[in-house]
Amino acid sequence: KMKMISETLIFFWLLIIFYLILILNVWNFSFCYWLSGIQIGVVIAWTIIELKEGIK
């Protein structure tokens, strides 16, 4: 049960980070390339969590 809770927390943190990135993209376009790399990382991390849930 604790593992499930921690994975849910990770997912929500990734969601928060994603929205912060979107806000920063609006305010400072010089960060776009760097932030798009983070966005890809968020998607990959989310996919890994989803796959782990699927395996269970």
The domain locations on the chain are 2-55
- pLDDT, one tens digit per residue, over 2-39 is 677 777 778 888 888 888 777 776 666 666 666 677 77
pLDDT at 23: 73
pTM: 0.39
**48 vs 4, more confident:** 48
Report d(CA 1, CA 41) in Å as an integer.
26
Q: Is the dihedral of CA 13, 17, 20, 26 positive or negative?
A: negative
Taking the C-alpha atoms of residue 22 and residue 9, their distance in angstroms, rounded to an integer, is 20
- pLDDT value of position 30: 60
